[in-house]
Structure formats: C-alpha cells, structure tokens
Amino acid sequence: MHILSKFLSGAACAFCLSLTAAPAAAQNCPRGDLDERFCDADGDLIADIPADASQLIDPDTLIFAYTPVEDPAVYKEAWSDFLTHLENETGKSVMFFPVQNNAAQIEAMRSGRLHIAGFNTGSNPLAVNCAGFRPFTIMAGEDGSFGYEMEILTYPGSGIEKVEDIKGGQLAFTSPTSNSGFKAPSAILKADYDMLPDRDFEPVYSGKHDNSILGVANKDYPAASIANSVLARMLKRDVVKADQLVSIYKSQTFPTTGYGVVHNLTPELQDKIRNAFFSFDWAGTSLEEEFSKNGEAQFIEITYKDYWEVIRKIDAANDVSYACQ
C-alpha cells in the first residue's frame, strides 16, 4: 500500500499542492527514504541541517503544533507554560497552531508554516521523510519509562469477546498515518489473525483517537483500535467511563509522540529549542497537570533511527512507502 494513496484525500488535498510547489534541494547527496529536497550525509535517517546559510531560516515568531488528538483548545492550555518557557529560552515569540488532522500538520511543516511540533507515532516517518522533521525527544516518566500500547476496544454487550469476533462487522481506525489507529492493528490483524479490511471486516475512519473512543463508548462503532495513552487522559478527565469500554487486545509498547524541529532552522536556534525541552521544570505547570495523567514527567533524548525502528518495521509489513509524490 502506498501510504499517500489513502492519506492524501479530502482535507489533505492542500498537502498535495505543497508537494508540487516545494523547492528542490541539491540532487547529489545521500538521502535514503528522504524526499529529494533533503540530504542525510551522516546516515541518521533524518534530514541534515543545510550547509548553505541561504537555506536557513531564523523566524521572529516560532509556530508550535501538537499532534491532533482530542480538543485542540485543551492542549493549547496544556502547553501554555512550556511555550512561555520556550519564548524565554529562544528570545522568540511562540504561537500554538491547533491542527485538526495529521495531513494539515505535515503540510504545514513541509510548506514552511510550522517550526516545532509533536507528531504522533505513526506520522513521524512521513513527517521525517516528507517534511524535514528532526525529532529529538519524547515524554517519559520519572523513571525514564515511556510509550503506550495499541488496544482494540468494544463496549459491553456488543457480542465481541475476542478479536476474531470482529469478522463480518465494523472496525474503526483513526487515520492511515496513525500507528495505533491504523498501521499497527492492520499488521497485527493480518499476521496473527489472517484478517484483512474489506475482506473480513468493514474499516471506517474516525479521524482521531478521541472520536474512536467516544464512538465505541456511545455504541456508534462496535470496535476500534486506539492509543491507550489517549484513553487514559480521557478517563482521568471523565470524558468517558471505564464501564463503557472493554479491551479485547493490547499490543507491545510503542514510542509515543516525537517532538522536534523543521530541519532548516539555524543550528543556533535548533540548539536553543532543544535546550528548552530539556531544561523545562514540569513541577506545578500546565504540562504536568495534563500529561501526568499518563505518568509522564520529563522529556528524554531519543534518536529517530533507534526509537522508531519498530514503527518502520510495521510500515514495511504493511507495504507502506514514504514517497512524497
């Protein structure tokens, strides 16, 4: 499956326009799966910072976006204390950009309108390869533990007691770029249960994890694959009740949202942004108030090459291509 064949439709059409309008980078450089605009001379699988100073940007206002889950207004407030810290560390104004879907977020970075972002697990490879995203950190607990699991949920009395019972019915995914909302369950259902969408069940797309969770809780969907980190926050906020949902499958642990910058910010500015993440004191902040519901308490340093290896393997199992056109 070519990932963009499903990804670039409907609201994602603006992304298509940005692909054709994007300027080309130097042609003679190693790049692996990266778009032709980028180089990867050091082999770390992410776009190098341009050596040509004329290709670097140093904006007066930095635009930050968090992965589109749940109500964007909730997360604008949750990130407010961190963004104030980011302003102090960089000397720049910082604006929160509330994105509605993964396509809009990737398109914004690729077209130069987004500088700092948290991309969800499944979107990271596409953001890295098509938009020049350079992830360097994820959230973790006090003990350094991190990650989440994909769960398949149903509701009490649905008649679904195990994964095989989904056959002949409907399963809600979130979007084709989501790891736990599409790619991981697709690979697992195919490999472990010989179950394929359209052949064995009807796939539907809710757009976001909270939509899928609410859809099951309200009995709009008989089953859905979701990230349990989102579920945990929704339960803590009393958006849904535990007795409305039944989990019939739980996966291995995956890396959570990856945070980073667009590749062509000046090196000095990229360093200041990195330092802002790692010097942020969570205690008593709006970020702690929201993300401690997941047990998260700090930012830890990561590399895309190592931490996203399992996600790239899932993509390979799904025949996903990172081609941008």
Identity of the amino acid at 191: A
Number of domains in the chain: 2
Domain of residue 302, residue span: 3-144+255-317
Q: Are residues 228 and 276 in the same domain?
A: no
Nearby residues of 96 by Cβ (< 8 Å), 6 or more positions away: 64, 65, 66, 75, 76, 79, 80, 83
Write out the two tokens for 280. Answer: 């942020």
Quick: pLDDT tens for 280-320.
Answer: 999 999 999 999 988 999 999 999 999 999 999 899 888 88
What would the DSSP string read from start to end of 114-142?
--EEEE-TTTHHHHHHHH-EEEEEEEE-T
Q: Are residues 131 and 157 in the same domain?
A: no
256/73: higher pLDDT: 256
Q: Are residues 178 and 40 in the same domain?
A: no
pLDDT, position 60: 97
- Domain boundary (239, 254, 269) is at 254
Residue 271 phi/psi, 5-degree rounding, is -65, -40
Q: Are residues 57 and 160 in the same domain?
A: no
For tokens 């000095």, name the residue: 268
Give, rounded to a whole angstrom, the gap between the first and last alpha carbons of the chain.
14
Q: What is the DSSP letter of 29?
A: S
CATH number for 192: 3.40.190.10
Q: State the pLDDT confidence band at 62, using cuts at 50, 70 and 90.
A: very high
pTM exceeds 0.95 for this model = no
Examine residue 56 and state whether it is found in any structural domain, yes or no. yes
Write out the two tokens for 260. Answer: 């980073």
Write out the two tokens for 258. Answer: 């990856």
- Domain boundary (212, 227, 254) is at 254
Any alpha helices (H) in 41-94, and if so which ranges?
A: 72-78, 80-90
Quick: pLDDT tens for 109-121.
Answer: 999 999 999 999 9
252/152: higher pLDDT: 152
Q: Are residues 206 and 294 in the same domain?
A: no
Q: How many Cβ atoms sit within 10 Å of the Cβ of residue 72?
A: 15
Examine residue 325 and state whether it is found in any structural domain, yes or no. no
Q: Are residues 169 and 238 in the same domain?
A: yes
Q: Are residues 204 and 302 in the same domain?
A: no
Residue 86 phi/psi, 5-degree rounding, is -60, -40
Q: Are residues 209 and 246 in the same domain?
A: yes
